[in-house]
Structure formats: C-alpha cells, structure tokens
C-alpha cells in the first residue's frame, strides 16, 4: 500500500528517475529527522558524495518530494507534505532548538489573505522564532 517509501518509489518511477542507494538513504535521513536539515548538515549524514547530495536535493525538489524551508540563517530541506503533514517550525533564539507547529486556522487565514490580495494560493512558508521555556528560566 501507501507507505511513504512506496509513494516515493512510485514517484521516482513516474518521473523516469531511478531509485539509487543514495536517494534511498537521503530519503530515509529526511524521513527520520524531526526537523529540516541544511545541505551542510545533510552531507555528512547521507552516505554519498556531496555533489550527489546537491544534485539529489535539487532533483527531488523539482519533482516535489523535497521542500525548501527557511530555517534560521540557512535554507533547509525536508520531505514535502506528500510524506509529512503540512506544518511549520519555531526555533529558539537561545538554544536554536526547533519545534513543529501545526495550526489549521493559521493555514486557512494565510490562504484567505492570499485570495484577498488577488492570488490563487499555491503555497507558503512560515518560520517562527521565540525563546523556549528552558532558555527563559536560564536567562
């Protein structure tokens, strides 16, 4: 049936792309990660040449498997909504810990604001920053 990995394979196939060891690995690293990873973080984690990491992130982005999100100072990458439910992140200014945020109402409101501006919404990215509980006490 439709496990994330099966969907991934189907997706590659229908785009005339091959399932290589390297892509398999990249996919699973992203699948297991609780937060988006930058290219820099990805390179040592994924067992393939750094050039292939660049290339695969690009290719998989083109076919909608991977999505780019602005996290902190760097862009990072995570699996698209096809594999992980749509959500956003908040990162702590103190310790840079990242948590996921999932709020339906925000989604609705963002889309309706787009419509009011005269656009048919196709997507958005939202990054939040704050001070987490721990850093608040410690400060």
Site residues for DNA per CB under 7 A: 12-13, 16-23, 39-40, 48-52, 54-56, 58-59
Which whole-number Å values give the CA distances from 90 to 85, 93, 99, 127, in the listed order?
Answer: 16, 9, 5, 6
CB neighbours of residue 102 within 10 Å: 10
The CB-of-104 to its own copies minimum distance in angstroms stands at 10
Q: Which of residues 82-101 bind its own copies (CB under 8 A)?
A: 90, 92-93, 99, 101
Of 50 and 131, the one with the shorter C-beta distance to its own copies is: 131
Could you tell which of DNA, its own copies, none binds residue 105, using a CB distance below 5 to 8 A set by kind?
its own copies
Query: Following CA atoms 63, 17, 25, 53 in sequence, which dihedral angle do they give, to the nearest 10 degrees?
Result: -70
CB 76 within 8 A of CB 36: yes
Could you tell which of DNA, its own copies, none binds residue 126, using a CB distance below 5 to 8 A set by kind?
its own copies
């Amino acid at each position: 049936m439709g496990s994330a990995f099966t969907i991934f394979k189907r997706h590659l196939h229908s785009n005339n792309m091959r399932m290589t060891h390297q892509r398999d690995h990249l996919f699973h690293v992203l699948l297991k990660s609780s937060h988006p990873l930058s290219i820099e973080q990805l390179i040592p984690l994924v067992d393939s040449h750094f050039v292939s990491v660049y290339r695969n992130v690009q290719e998989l982005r083109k076919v909608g498997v991977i999505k780019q999100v602005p996290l902190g100072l760097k862009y990072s990458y995570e699996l698209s909504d096809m594999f992980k439910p749509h959500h956003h992140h908040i990162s702590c200014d103190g310790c840079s810990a990242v948590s996921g945020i999932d709020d339906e109402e925000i989604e609705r409101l963002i889309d309706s604001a787009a419509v009011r501006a005269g656009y048919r919404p196709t997507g958005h990215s939202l990054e939040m920053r704050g001070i987490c509980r721990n850093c608040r006490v410690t400060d």
